[in-house]
Structure 1
Amino acid sequence: MKRMRIDLKRPILVVTILCFFSFFRGLGQETKPNIIVFLVDDMGWQDTSVPFWKKKTPFNNRYYTPNMERLASQGMKFTQAYATPICSPTRVSLMTGMNAARHRVTNWTLHKNTSTDGKDDHLEFPEWNVNGISPVPEIENTIYATSLPSLLKNEGYQTIHVGKAHFGAVGTLGEDPKNLGFDFNIAGHAAGAPESYEGLENFGNGKPNKAIWAVPGLQKYHGKDIFLTEALTREALITLDSLDQNKPFFLYMSHYAVHVPIYGDKRYLKKYLDAGLQETEAKYASMIEGMDKSLGDILDYLDRKNIADNTIVLFMSDNGGLSAHARGGEPNTHNKPLASGKGSFYEGGIREPMIVKWPNKVKPATTTDNYVIIEDFYPTILQMAGATNMNTVQHVDGKSFMPILTNTSKEKDEYRPLFWHYPNKWGGFGPGIGTGSAVRYGDWKLIYFHKSQTLELYNIKNDIAESNNLASKNKKELHKLASILTDYLKSSKAQMPKYKATGEPVPYPNEIVE
């Protein structure tokens, strides 16, 4: 075979030939987008200056989140985005695409083989997957699943976990994000809250009997006057700088903020105190602004590196805003007009602020009222990544919201039911906080409280505050939603509590109606 000789003295010819080969090598290939999931812990629907309702509220005027405003101006706001009432179930749904009723990590995880359920005089809570996610089968009390980052790695993505993990109990494989497909793990472990947000307090390291809550892996910031949110952001950007620039990345930026303990971020605290906010609420607002500054730093980084146009940013919270305790002012009022807060089946416990920016795909400054739920992130992100192999060991409940983002859906997806199942007991008290199940179908929402066998029916479109229970007035919708919820609980093999007095399981909602 005769070799082709390239005359290096003829640079124009060399460039032409190189471009020719480069063109054909690139045919059929499309640059995969970088993907960032920016997840905030315990952030309520109202904890932002971005209104997710038809009008601004006093809470929107309280908080200052200019970078959320910036993101919303560049992407799409989701006014009806949902998660689960508390943290671990949401995070497992995000990583697996499964509804909590199916993956059975229905409460928050911590110690191996140990339930975090509170005590109840009347109900015996079912066994659930207290050990969280597992990347291998046949591990007790876990859900074996093909994780989102592992599939993205198969697509050539470099995968980075930063911040709160809370995927698995201490001493299990799921405790370490690296076992779930992340190449890098910064400060993620079994615990769902930090012992301290202060570098001057070593983020809780060294405190007697507090090792389980101490944030790991940030020793370089120990003894320094730095807030945890800032330290995590800096480490995220340092890690991004270390990556192979020829490969796409998936950054899971999972902040501990704004989970308790509520600390004041000294960079922003004074202005909220000067504005007359009660001290705890001023601290909370300062944590919100610190989180927003992190978002801005990441957006600035993308601009600075000229990769913003090829980077998708998805902003979300893991459950409703904390309101039952540990806040200033009147409990269970911090998410109004939404009722209640974290731990509740009411909108204040499950409706989240969500924004998606995707340059050249999502029209800037747009809003959608289509509803989505946390498990939808799994198939959507894989579709965004152009995943060719989406075979999983688990059944995926989530549905891609790509048609909503690209405005190719023919009509509102209002006849797809969304489900919640919490056969457990959380640590807070307040409206809608309790053992139960729920379904959203179109404008209607049914809540079934297991202990009291109570059914509540609301038209969310007309009654966002869930102040008018229509269960006794609209039997048609009551029966319809009770049947839909029952069918799903049965098909997903959702575990139901039992009554201690009789040993009998709690009846299904359609049995109560009948």
Structure 2
Amino acid sequence: MTIFFCLRYLILSMTILSGLSCAVAAPRPSKPNVILILADDLGWSDTTLFGKTNFYKTPNIERLAARGMTFSRAYACSPLCSPTRASVLTGLSPARIGITSPGCHLPKVLLKATLGQKAPPNKKAILPNSATRLDTRYYTLAEMFRDNGYATGHFGKWHLGSKPYSPLEHGFQVDVPNWPGPGPAGSYVAPWKFPDFDPQTPSEHIEDRMAKEAVAFMENNQNKPFFLNYWMFSVHAPFDAKKKLIDEYRKKVDPKNPQRSPTYAAMIESMDDAVGSLLDTLDRLKIADNTIIVFASDNGGNMYNEVDGTTATSNSPLRGGKATMYEGGIRGPAIVAYPKIVQAGSSSTEIIQSSDFYPTLLDMLEIKPQRRQKFDGISILPALKGKSLNRNAIFTYFPHSPNVPDWLPPSVSVHQGDWKLIRIFYGGKECRHRWKLFNLKDDLEETKDISEKFPKRVHEMDALIDKFLLDTKAVQPKPNPKFDVSKYRPKLEGIAALKRSRKNQKQSPRKRSKPVAGWQPSGTCQLSIEDGSMVFTSSGKDPHASYVLPEEVSKETLTLHFKLISNSSGKGQIYWSEKGVVPAFHRDRSKLFNVHHDGKSHTYAIEFTAKNAVLAVRIDPSAGKGKVILSHIKLTGAGGRVAYQWQFREADRK
């Protein structure tokens, strides 16, 4: 009997403990998380994946490759960024969407491509006008994830339109830093020019910060499925990096190596560090085995901007780079990792394209597309399982002609196995098309046009192009009725106009505002210390300064006190940064206040309630030009307790 009761007590105790364990441990999501990392302008030879560089260092991208499958023939849907980004979110070709050039930051809103009206007399074709926004009628990848119970977050570059075409209108619940521009705002290293998104430390690197924000998103959503869309600013212009890294790479430059920009090498390292931060977090949170990771580039490496007295990078052995229809403009690195499906450390030579990611993720997650939803891409799940793809061809539509090295007139290309055909619209005689045919297996550098040697293959592959253009209803170039053969210079094809004015390309060193007494000023104002006060000298355009507190202040109702003298204009605003909340400074965590701009001293006390520990504060004392003097700044809590107080000494002048 005693044994019976002991056993019964033991079983009951184990049951209770088991129940307590379940109550304490939060359930892990059964659906896999998804992280999609899209690098900007990262070339095929810019990583160590293919053994084409000994200057750049990408150990974390190698770490990712060791977890999944590396594709050596991965293509962007366009040699420029916005069209490719639209293809990733919709699974459609830029030809169908109408976004064929990266003009999505421009003021004019065009939701559809239109026919151009004219062209200079030295051009054979009139170009179409690209759409400048991603229409919200498309059911995006983010909307699909959101509707299937995922937390959705976008971090980094967007370049598909500002509000009402921002990430927040395309299915993302979080958007940091909510920036519609073509690259980072002003610089990679703080101070930046992002509105309402300040650095947390002086000289903070934007990619370090983006990784930090992405990590916070993962931590906040670790117990439910999440879709993290991390579209890096790196390694797009402006060419800017951590000074210490630049100095280190400068010592390693080989003048004979076509990759010899220390600044670009430093940018690559910071990009790679960000990838490492995400991998470290997955491991720390123990969710790596339940996370799909996709890594790719939006187009080829930048071959034409001048950095450190040389080109930004080299895509050798590929021909051309960003903005060209050759392999260097559209081919880049790609990795897909998911332990439950993809063999670790595997590789594939199958041809994949950026429009494939959407249908592939649907297939991996066993989610059906919407009724009547159509894709130009295909699921590459068979390739991820080590099999061949049932794919006839891929197409790249680029009806534009930026004057960069290796440029071509408006074109469309088709890849079919080892063969690649480029059709140049109306580039031949008597307003006929012209073609270039390459066998990439024998001629990866695309130096031998064999179109005249294989006319049958040209005809067959060009018929595929016709079918593609018809199916996508692409707005195509048309013959220029005002073409003047006497003004046509065919020998200038492929010759960069930029080379003729290279002196004008050199970037002048960027002057950075230094923090004063720990306060980091915006780029539109200067700070100084005078007679125990902090002085803003503002050129307008939202002057402000932020301060990272040496210790976090517990969540409660707080009050920021200060005295202010101003001859500027506009309302004032304070912001506070909360632990675990992104972005650091946002209008939802701010308070407006009226400012007396009469040149007299006035006392202000701005009360706010923090839901989490406060990490930093920011003061926007005005909105216009002029001089503002702040003093007696302190942060108080309940009962007037001083949480932090600022004192400006003569030593802070420097």
What residue is the counterpart of 2:249 in the other structure? Answer: 272
Which residue identity is paired with 2:398? Y
Distance apart, 1:89 and its partner CA: 0.3
Match for residue 156 of structure 2 among 158, 163, 170: 163
Which residue of 2 is the match for residue 511 of structure 1? none
Cα 1:326–1:231 change in 2 (3 A) is same
Q: Map 1:127-146 onto structure 2 (within 5 A).
A: 127-130=129-132, 132-135=133-136, 144-146=137-139
- Specify which of 370, 376, 379 is matched with residue 391 of structure 1: 370
Equivalent in the alignment of 1:173: 164
Alignment-mate amino acid for residue 45 of structure 1: W
Partner residue, 1:94: 88
Partner amino acid, structure 1, of 2:100: T
1:402 and 2:381 are equivalent in the alignment: yes
Q: Give yes or no for contact 1:44–1:320 (8 Å, CA) kept in 2.
A: yes
Q: Is the contact between residue 340 and residue 349 of structure 1 (CA under 8 Å) also seen in structure 2? A: yes
Alpha-carbon RMSD: 3.0
CA deviation after TM superposition for structure 1 residue 267, in Å: 4.3
Match of 2:64 among 71, 88, 97: 71
Q: Distance in 1 between matches of 2:309 and 2:16?
A: 72
Aligned residue identity for 2:75? Y
CA distance in 1, matches of 2:56, 2:128: 40
Q: CA deviation at 1:454?
A: 2.1
Q: Tell me the residue number matched to 2:265.
A: 285
Q: Does the alignment pair 1:301 with 2:281? A: yes
Q: Contact 2:105–2:160 at 8 Å: present in 1 too?
A: no
Distance 2:214 2:42 in 1: 21
Q: Deviations over 1:5-46 (max 9, x none)?
A: xx99933455689999xxxxx9xx981111111110000000
Q: Unaligned 5+ residue runs, structure 1?
A: 1-6, 21-25, 136-143, 206-214, 504-514
Partner in structure 2 of residue 23 of structure 1: none
- 1:208 aligned residue: none
Query: In 2 relative to 1, CA 150–393 (structure 1 residues): closer, same or farther, beyond 3 Å?
Result: farther
Partner in structure 1 of residue 12 of structure 2: 10
Q: CA deviation at 1:360?
A: 2.9
Paired position in structure 2 for 1:262? 239
Q: Is the 8 A contact 1:48 1:64 kept in 2?
A: yes
User: Which is richer in strand?
Assistant: 2
Secondary structure in structure 2 of the residue aligned to 1:161: strand
Q: Which residue in the other structure is 2:477 paired with? A: 497
1:439 corresponding residue in structure 2: 414
SS at match of 2:35: strand
**In the alignment, is the contact (CA less than 8 A) between 1:434 and 1:449 conserved in 2?**
yes
Residue of structure 2 in register with 1:429 after alignment = 404
**For the residues of structure 1 that align with 2:260 and 2:240, how far apart are their CA atoms?**
8
Q: Partners of 1:34 and 1:383 in 2: how far apart?
A: 14
Q: Is the counterpart of residue 46 in structure 1 residue 39 in structure 2?
A: no
8 Å contact kept, 2:261–2:311: no
In structure 2, do the counterparts of structure 1 residues 149 and 478 end up closer, same or farther at CA, with 3 Å as the change threshold?
same
Tell me the distance in 1 between the aligned counterparts of 2:459 and 2:211. 49
1:86-485 equivalences under 5 Å are 86-108=80-102, 109-113=104-108, 120-121=120-121, 122=123, 123-130=125-132, 132-135=133-136, 144-168=137-161, 170=162, 172-174=163-165, 176-201=166-191, 203=192, 205=193, 215-221=194-200, 224-243=202-221, 245-276=222-253, 281-327=261-307, 334-388=314-368, 390-391=369-370, 395-407=374-386, 409=387, 411-413=388-390, 415-426=391-402, 428-452=403-427, 453-485=433-465
Structure 2: 5+ residue stretches without partners: 1-8, 428-432, 484-654
Match of 1:68, SS state, is: helix
The residue identity in structure 2 corresponding to 1:194 is: P
The DSSP-based 3-state class of the residue aligned with 2:87 is helix
Cα pair 1:41 1:254 within 8 Å, conserved: yes
2:42 aligned counterpart, secondary structure: coil
- CA deviations 1:325-346 (Å, max 9, x no partner) are 3345666981011000001110
Q: Secondary structure at the match of 1:133?
A: coil
SS at match of 1:247: coil
Structure 2 distance, partners of 1:394, 1:104, is 17
Distance 2:270 2:39 in 1: 11
Q: Alpha carbons of 1:72 and 1:161: their partners in 2 closer, same or farther (altered >3 Å)?
A: same
Structure 2 CA distance for partners of 1:462 and 1:200, relative to 1, 3 Å: same
- TM (norm. structure 2) is 0.65
Supply the AA of the counterpart residue of 1:63: Y
Please report how far the alpha carbon of residue 220 of structure 1 lies from its aligned counterpart in structure 2 after TM superposition: 4.3
Rounded Cα–Cα distance in structure 2 between residues aligned with 1:10 and 1:394: 54
Query: What's the secondary structure of 2:227's corresponding residue?
Result: strand
| Count of residues in correspondence between the two structures | 456
Q: Is the 8 A contact 1:420 1:437 kept in 2?
A: yes
Structure 1 length-normalised TM:
0.82
For 2:469, give the aligned amino acid. Answer: L
Q: Is the 8 A contact 2:39 2:235 kept in 1?
A: yes
Contact 2:382-2:389 at 8 Å conserved across structures: no
Moved more, 86-95 or 230-239: 230-239
Change in Cα spacing, 1:378 to 1:252, as seen in structure 2 (3 Å) is: same
Q: How far, CA to CA, are the matches of 2:396 and 2:214 in structure 1? A: 33
**Larger RCO: 1 or 2 (CA < 8 Å, sep 6+):** 1
Distance 2:195 2:380 in 1: 35
- Please report how far the alpha carbon of residue 200 of structure 1 lies from its aligned counterpart in structure 2 after TM superposition: 3.3
Q: What are the Cα deviations for residues 26-76 of structure 1, in whole angstroms up to 9, with x where unaligned?
A: 9xx98111111111000000001221xxxx33xx11110011111111211
CA contact (8 A) 2:301 2:313 kept: no
**Secondary structure of 2:379's match?**
coil
Percent of pairs identical after alignment?
32
- State the distance in 1 between where 2:366 and 2:43 align: 32
**Structure 1 residues 443 and 99: CA distance shift in structure 2, 3 A:** same
Q: How far did 1:419 drift?
A: 0.5
Match of 2:501?
none
CA 1:486–1:110: 2 relative to 1, 3 Å: same
Give per-residue Cα distances to partners, 1:266-298, cap 9 Å, x unaligned: 342122101135798110010001000010111
1:462 positional shift: 1.5
User: How much has 1:224 moved relative to structure 2?
Assistant: 1.4
Q: Which amino acid aligns with 1:36?
A: I
- Kept in 2, the 8 Å contact 1:332–1:339? The answer is no
